[in-house]
Structure 1
Amino acid sequence: MIQAETLELLEWPRLCQHLSTFAATKLGAIASRRLQIPQTQDESLTLLAQTQEVYKLETRLTTGWTFDGIYDIGDALERAELQGILSGEELLNIATTLAGTRQLRRVIDNQEDLPVLTELVADLRTYPELEQEIHHCIDDRGEVADRASPKLAGIRQQMRQQRDRIYQILQGILQRQSGAVQEQVITQRGDRFVIPVKATSKDAIPGIVHDTSMSGVTLYVEPNAIVSLGNQMRQLIRQEQAEEEAIRRALTEQVAAVKPDLERLLAIATTLDLATARARYSYWLQANPPRFIQMVGGGQDAHPTRESITLRQLRHPLLVWQHQHEQGAAVVPVDLLIQPQIRVVTITGPNTGGKTVTLKTLGLAALMAKVGLFVAAREPVEMPWFEQVLADIGDEQSLEQSLSTFSGHIRRISRILEALENGEENESAIANEQLSTSNSLVLLDEVGAGTDPAEGSALAIALLQYLADNAQLTMATTHFGELKALKYQDSRFENASVEFDDVSLSPTYRLLWGIPGRSNALTIARRLGLNAEVVEKAQTYVGGATEEVNEVIAGLEAQRRRQETKAEEAAQLLKQAERFYQEVSKKAAALQEREQQLRQQQEQEVLKAIAQAKGEIAQVIRRLQQGPMTAQDVNIARESVNQIAQRHLPPPPPPKPKPGFMPKEGDRIRIPRLGQTAEVLSSPNEAGQLTVKFGIMKMTVSLEDIESLDGEKPELPVKSKPVAGETSNSQKKQTATVPQQPKPAIRTSKNTLDIRGWRVADAESEVEKAIAQAVEYGVLWIVHGKGTGKLRQGVHEFLKQHPQVERFDLADRSEGGEGVTVAHLK
């Protein structure tokens, strides 16, 4: 019972309804709304693998992954098994479902790395012969076609001939008795052909009256001349119906004979549609696949495996939907980083600060991971597979049952504890390890509230200590200050708080770890203008210690913010350094390869030139040997050899500029090996080294590594020769001095552009603006997401044509991988 109650408290049905909108078939939508929570981790892993493979498949296919022609044929299969006769439309739906499922299997079989989906459709039987037989007998309107049987074709041919004779006779009556008829038309009443006759002239056309108009002025009469023909027509119609029924019965029997296979086919199609809905919903959420971590052990002295729960930038999926579709407020993500030894997290802070939303977000994330959905958090997403998710959230006050808020909470918590005890009994031993805790996630909102604060606090402490021994993870919100001290008494407890802005007197919805929440009631009351005497009197009742604690907590919060800022900057610098190192390594390897290619090419050209020169010289020698040598012949031969030398020998190198340039402070110089122009900050020292600056980077370089803007090399200082017997350690030190490499560009909000979800045409104008603003940084990060790849392709095509873009690459995996492009600007 508590499981179903928890799903309602977490608004799981709403999420399933949102998921159903991404399904392609009626059965897929129904399955999405009735989503079953897996009972084992293996089931969840299979569902996740299906979602990932469909996600991968949809990004590859240019025409899309379609479920056209697949219908809910379950009722038709049941009736066929009960020897009912299916209609032509039902038979046609079965045929199109067979064709649609076969197309899905064909798409999967054409891919090489979809093992889970391939196994799912491996034994799928789509019965193409049954499909062909149905299409042969049933036309696109769901009616039995003439080609279904020769007998049916003959009957219908007779019906057409009979109908023509009836029309011919009636047309003659209409022409002869034009004054007696109401309108020159032939119509039907039932299966009888009639003409409209004026009531006043009914005797003019004797026959059988089959109907009368509402006004009574028109009678629909079957003339006596065609009554016998009409009777014959009725017999033909009955014969046609009997033959159609026989054809549909035969087809129904064929369907009934393979009903188990068709039911399995329908189940597989529904499974594929449900996996597609999960993949599309996950893509819409910009979510990432979770990895289930193992957390073994549970007692206070136990040592769990070193894997932490990692949920960075976690967003509430229902709030994301509300923001996108209902113009709700922007979603503020939270970071949930929980160390493996932690069993209980207590969240404190002001009301409406986001504590309850945090509980629901974690609960939904655990459920989404179990059913094979991606989690709306930044990679990596790492969390345990919770066997149970149990929650006590909200007010269970009931006037009808005479329940107070406190009584309602206690009854729900009692059901949670019963579920934990049952869970422990069910998982007695796994992999030779006795688990002392239930593999469950417990979420408690305002634990111990609704009664006397002292007793409520004591009850909350006892309850959380019990849960620390018996549940995998418990997250509880509270206003009791005593619960904040549990962290310092038991290493399995952790504090967290929602941040509060003292200036705006409102919460920021950010979650701070390791710091308990401050008491803000008196501060808020004072700033909102409550009588100062009343506030000061209240302060005396609280005591000075509380104010001191609040000041300490405020200082810790400020220190935490500074540390977070520095840690973020350091992480960015580390990522930039790693990327810079990789880029330099790639460039060095490319240069070496290019140098080797040029060397080989030059060697080939030299050998070719030598061979050609040898041939030309041999021709000169042969001419000299053909007759007596004169001085003129020798001069001609010498001139020929000189011309050969001019054609094949490389030109002499240009003279090097004479040294003599000496840089001084403020000069602009060039560093050829770095391809940079820099400003001199200090004159060269005795070792021939000077400090330069380019951009925001400063470094020390040697005179040998620089030149003037005109290409002139500096005059190097004369080095004194070492005295005999002295070692050359100083020379070794000088030789070992390596100029520092320039620091890489830092990624900030000013050189980062987020265009996820944009159209290519709209994104190009934003990229153009961002390039203009980021020129001074030299690098622009463009966040376009992974998705189908069309936006990434459009951005790359635009960057190829842009004159200010030197090159662009996909970012490292740590910076977004295929979802981010890094453009290097000129």
Structure 2
Amino acid sequence: MNPAAIEQETLELLEWPRLAAHLAGFAGTAAGQRHCRALPLPASAAQSRTLLAETTELLALDGLIEGGLSLQGVADIGPCVALCAKGGVACGEALLELATTLAAARRLRRQIDEPALRPVTTALVAELRTLPELEQRLRFCLEEGGRVADRSSAPLEALRRQLQAARGERRERLQELLRRSAALLQDNVIAERNGRPVLAVKAGAAAQLPGQVHDSSASGQTVFIEPQAVLALGNRIRDLEGQERELEQAVLRELSAAVGEQASGLEVLQSTLVRLDAALARARYGAWLGAVRPELADAAEAPFDLQDLRHPLLLWQQKREAGQAVVPVSVSVAPELRVVAITGPNTGGKTVTLKSLGLAALMARAGLFLPCSGTPRLPWCGRVLADIGDEQSLQQNLSTFSGHIRRIARILEALNAPAPGAAGGASLVLLDEVGAGTDPAEGAALATALLQHLAERARLTVATTHFGELKALKYADPRFENASVAFDEQTLAPTYRLQWGIPGRSNALAIARRLGLDGALLEQAASQLAPRGEGDVNQVIAGLEQQRLRQQEAAEEAAALLARTELLHEELLSRWQQQQQQGAELQEQRRQQLERSIRQGQHEVRRIIRRLRQGDGGQRLDPAALGETARQAGRRLKHLEQEHRPRPERRQHGGWMPAVGDRVRVLSLGKAAEVLELVDHGRELTVRCGVLRLTVPLEGIEGLQGEKPSPPEVKVQVKGRRALAGPGPQVRTEGNTVDVRGLRVHEAEAAVEEKLRAASGPVWVIHGIGTGRLKRGLRAWLDTLPYVQRVSDAERSDGGAGCSVVYIH
């Protein structure tokens, strides 16, 4: 079977034509709308990236131009050019549309041409031939509506003057006949039959007005006659009209030949304009959806990272048809994963998740933006194959199970066929209710074998199932992963949210109870589950869900406690800084007071010396008086020296601390001693003074030069009490993961700091690889945070070098 058939069938199952029709509504031309409805899928990742670049550039340009980028004047010139290239003659209206298209293409080229800002679209329009001479010739020869202008041909202009004069003469003759034969006429209006002017004559008076009868009324009371007086003039006018058509046709033939000579360039112009229209439609459709540009990887093993993905068709219903709000799902598939089994109750959103993922892969391949948050990343998917929905057919005598098996067989054949295009890319397989429709035991065995087979041949297989056996594959094969749609046990209603790592419960009995099924019947059904062990499995799953809920609540409590502790720490730090400032101010006041005292003392000394040298009034004193004065001066100086002697300053000499073997002075003994040991982190010392060995506090010693030791620095560490006295989550979840790809370093720091403040365990920071600038900037900043214990690369399954794990105290 042709692989293209199952791929086309997959597009129908995913409702790709419906999405293409939505996209076509944003196109500005008929050709662009046809292109969008077909919405071809590129055959290589390079082509898809080019389409994404076109979408990005035109989206930015559309926002810069007032009123948006306009395609007004662009027409579908393809049929006209094809006709002219074959030697045919196009009508005047088509040729005039071609002229307006050439002018519009020239305007678009001027608006787009900016190599620095729009390299891809600039290169696209750079080689366009807008043929201004052909445009001017078409506009000269054609008037509005496509009519051939008189100025296009001198013979045509002369002929039209003759024709106009003949028509005027005939009209005057008919008006004269209306006045003279009013009594013979049913109506005084000049009618037309078979392109000839006629008068409505009463049937009884037809013989009184000679001429040619062209028609009669249904009642037979009126006869439409072309009067004999204008028959010859009418024949002449008919002949002139024939000559006019021949001359007009000659002009159109000449113009069509000129268009045919430029057919190759015009075909390129047409395809370029269609491509621009489609790119602008993709840009406007993506902006309307609130979508973002995806990143496509060449490697088929690249991870899938789609955060808050919303189904585009459901989003269309929400916005255009006032539908229900779309619940987003997040898909994060590591490179080593090959199969994801989604379990959970019916109507829980499993099928919507499959279709959302399939449409996301196709949209990225077609150059469309994805309705996600952040930056979606996924491999280029060259094949998207799906088995979704009920394939029951009475005409073909196929049961549901048979229909699914036939489609799965075609999927396996397509996977074994050569990949299309230069690069096959990744293969994405979507299976809905795999193995359903037959005996549960055989269906589970077949589904298990099928998924293991697909794990070897497809990049990613996502399957929905109710089989409990498939939930256990994860624990035997690292290529398998479980996911489930969440279910609200209080309202017994699905939440449509996808949970990774936890298998889901079908909740069939709970839903049946909510829908009013007999209680005794439900109890009997529950008793049947116990011998098969399914009740125990459901209890284990329920326990896992409750444990996850408790961990989330504990993390929230720990985050709140940590926030309060940090506030207290900031308050204590502020008070300590305030006390330090007050102490420095007090020390400065004492220093200034000391300087004033010293100046006063010096002044007093100079005054005493002058008195010693001179007596009162210039009289010298006797020796006894001099001796007494000298003794008084000595006592005053000694008193000043003792009073203003600087006290030992308790300064921190650059963080001086005695070390083992240093000589220090023990203040209580007033003697030197040798340091033997530092106790209690340096707060106490064991010293030897002569034969005496004793332990003294750090404040009880000083250096031999009088320096005072600085107490060891007190490191304030804020440690949040972990809720339930247990460690925080040591596995990556949505709650402890922050994606900063595409952000600047300072923006990423703010996002990471907010996540760290609320964390109760390690935090996974997804920064990507790229140039490495974002990673280096974050690592350097994290090294300065006191509450960060260490930072390391994540495990390969969690992103490897593109993701950092931050461990906090």
Q: Secondary structure at the match of 1:121?
A: helix
**2:650 is aligned with 1:721:** yes
Aligned pairs for 1:379-528 (under 5 A) are 379-423=374-418, 439-524=426-511
Please say if residues 95 and 135 of structure 1, whose CA atoms lie closer than 8 Å, have aligned partners that are also in contact.
yes
**2:350 is aligned with 1:355:** yes
**2:171 is aligned with 1:167:** yes
Q: 2:325 aligns with which of 303, 327, 330?
A: 330
Q: 1:227 aligns with which of 228, 231, 237?
A: 231
What amino acid is the match of 2:413?
A: E
**2:248 is aligned with 1:255:** no
Q: Secondary structure at the match of 2:381?
A: coil
1:454 and 1:738, CA in 2 relative to 1: closer, same or farther beyond 3 A? closer
Please say if residues 692 and 699 of structure 1, whose CA atoms lie closer than 8 Å, have aligned partners that are also in contact.
no
Gaps of 5+ in 1: 297-303, 578-680, 682-690, 740-826
Q: 1:345 aligns with which of 340, 365, 376?
A: 340
Please say if residues 529 and 535 of structure 2, whose CA atoms lie closer than 8 Å, have aligned partners that are also in contact.
no
1:256 and 1:177, CA in 2 relative to 1: closer, same or farther beyond 3 A? same
Counterpart for residue 730 of structure 1: 710
Please say if residues 420 and 470 of structure 1, whose CA atoms lie closer than 8 Å, have aligned partners that are also in contact.
yes
Aligned pairs for 1:425-824 (under 5 A) are 439-524=426-511, 530-532=518-520, 535=523, 538-539=526-527, 541-543=529-531, 546-561=534-549, 698-702=571-575, 705=578, 721=650, 724-725=702-703, 730=710, 733=713
Give CA deviations for 1:302-344 in whole Å, capped at 9, x if unaligned: xx6xx53110111111111122233332211111011111111
CA shift, 1:738, in A, is 13
State the distance in 1 between where 2:281 and 2:166 align.
55
State the distance in 2 between where 1:321 and 1:46 align.
26
Counterpart for residue 155 of structure 1: 159
Counterpart for residue 26 of structure 2: 22
Please say if residues 692 and 700 of structure 1, whose CA atoms lie closer than 8 Å, have aligned partners that are also in contact.
no
**2:275 is aligned with 1:271:** yes
Please say if residues 339 and 460 of structure 2, whose CA atoms lie closer than 8 Å, have aligned partners that are also in contact.
yes
Counterpart for residue 620 of structure 2: none
Which one has the largest radius of gyration? 2
CA shift, 1:441, in A, is 0.6
Give CA deviations for 1:248-298 in whole Å, capped at 9, x if unaligned: 1111111111112212211111111111111111111111111013546xx
Please say if residues 292 and 370 of structure 2, whose CA atoms lie closer than 8 Å, have aligned partners that are also in contact.
yes
State the distance in 1 between where 2:31 and 2:6 align.
28
State the distance in 2 between where 1:557 and 1:488 align.
18
CA shift, 1:529, in A, is 6.8
What amino acid is the match of 1:721?
A: R
Please say if residues 392 and 444 of structure 1, whose CA atoms lie closer than 8 Å, have aligned partners that are also in contact.
yes
CA shift, 1:171, in A, is 3.0
What amino acid is the match of 2:502?
A: I
State the distance in 2 between where 1:277 and 1:23 align.
5
**2:79 is aligned with 1:75:** yes
State the distance in 1 between where 2:44 and 2:558 align.
41
What amino acid is the match of 1:331?
A: V
Q: Secondary structure at the match of 1:509?
A: strand
What amino acid is the match of 2:484?
A: S
Q: Secondary structure at the match of 1:179?
A: helix
1:531 and 1:175, CA in 2 relative to 1: closer, same or farther beyond 3 A? closer
Gaps of 5+ in 2: 591-647, 652-700, 719-809
Please say if residues 182 and 218 of structure 1, whose CA atoms lie closer than 8 Å, have aligned partners that are also in contact.
yes
State the distance in 2 between where 1:530 and 1:202 align.
93
Q: 1:87 aligns with which of 72, 87, 91?
A: 91
1:113 and 1:72, CA in 2 relative to 1: closer, same or farther beyond 3 A? same
1:565 and 1:104, CA in 2 relative to 1: closer, same or farther beyond 3 A? farther
State the distance in 2 between where 1:161 and 1:534 align.
97
What amino acid is the match of 1:381?
A: P
CA shift, 1:82, in A, is 3.0
Counterpart for residue 310 of structure 2: 315
State the distance in 2 between where 1:69 and 1:573 align.
65
What amino acid is the match of 2:544?
A: L
- Normalising to structure 1: TM-score of the pair? 0.67
CA shift, 1:561, in A, is 4.2
What amino acid is the match of 2:519?
A: N
Q: Secondary structure at the match of 1:440?
A: strand
What amino acid is the match of 2:545?
A: E
State the distance in 2 between where 1:533 and 1:177 align.
99
Counterpart for residue 6 of structure 2: 2
1:264 and 1:314, CA in 2 relative to 1: closer, same or farther beyond 3 A? same
Task: Give the percent of matched residue pairs that are identical in Structure 1 and Structure 2.
Answer: 50
Give CA deviations for 1:137-179 in whole Å, capped at 9, x if unaligned: 1111221111111211111111222223223333333333333
State the distance in 1 between where 2:176 and 2:507 align.
100
Please say if residues 13 and 33 of structure 1, whose CA atoms lie closer than 8 Å, have aligned partners that are also in contact.
yes
Please say if residues 44 and 372 of structure 1, whose CA atoms lie closer than 8 Å, have aligned partners that are also in contact.
yes
Give CA deviations for 1:388-409 in whole Å, capped at 9, x if unaligned: 1111112222222222222222
| Structure 1 segments (4+ residues) deviating >6 Å | 565-574, 691-694, 713-720, 736-739
1:729 and 1:252, CA in 2 relative to 1: closer, same or farther beyond 3 A? farther
Please say if residues 311 and 337 of structure 1, whose CA atoms lie closer than 8 Å, have aligned partners that are also in contact.
yes
Counterpart for residue 220 of structure 2: 216
State the distance in 2 between where 1:82 and 1:55 align.
38
- Normalising to structure 2: TM-score of the pair? 0.68
1:692 and 1:378, CA in 2 relative to 1: closer, same or farther beyond 3 A? closer
1:137 and 1:566, CA in 2 relative to 1: closer, same or farther beyond 3 A? farther
State the distance in 2 between where 1:692 and 1:25 align.
61
Counterpart for residue 725 of structure 2: none
Give CA deviations for 1:784-821 in whole Å, capped at 9, x if unaligned: xxxxxxxxxxxxxxxxxxxxxxxxxxxxxxxxxxxxxx
CA shift, 1:572, in A, is 13
1:184 and 1:405, CA in 2 relative to 1: closer, same or farther beyond 3 A? closer
Q: Secondary structure at the match of 1:141?
A: helix
Q: Secondary structure at the match of 2:369?
A: coil
Q: Secondary structure at the match of 2:269?
A: helix
Q: Secondary structure at the match of 1:234?
A: helix
1:196 and 1:249, CA in 2 relative to 1: closer, same or farther beyond 3 A? same
State the distance in 1 between where 2:464 and 2:81 align.
52
CA shift, 1:77, in A, is 2.3
RMSD (Å) for aligned C-alpha atoms: 3.7
Give CA deviations for 1:711-768 in whole Å, capped at 9, x if unaligned: 9x9989999735752655537959x9999xxxxxxxxxxxxxxxxxxxxxxxxxxxxx
Counterpart for residue 104 of structure 1: 108
State the distance in 2 between where 1:249 and 1:485 align.
76
State the distance in 1 between where 2:451 and 2:238 align.
83
State the distance in 2 between where 1:492 and 1:538 align.
33
What amino acid is the match of 2:31?
A: L
Q: Secondary structure at the match of 1:39?
A: coil
Please say if residues 525 and 535 of structure 1, whose CA atoms lie closer than 8 Å, have aligned partners that are also in contact.
no
Q: Secondary structure at the match of 1:487?
A: helix
Q: Give the aligned length.
A: 604
**2:26 is aligned with 1:40:** no
State the distance in 1 between where 2:399 and 2:517 align.
34
| Greater alpha carbon shift after TM alignment, 172-181 vs 125-134 | 172-181
State the distance in 2 between where 1:8 and 1:707 align.
75
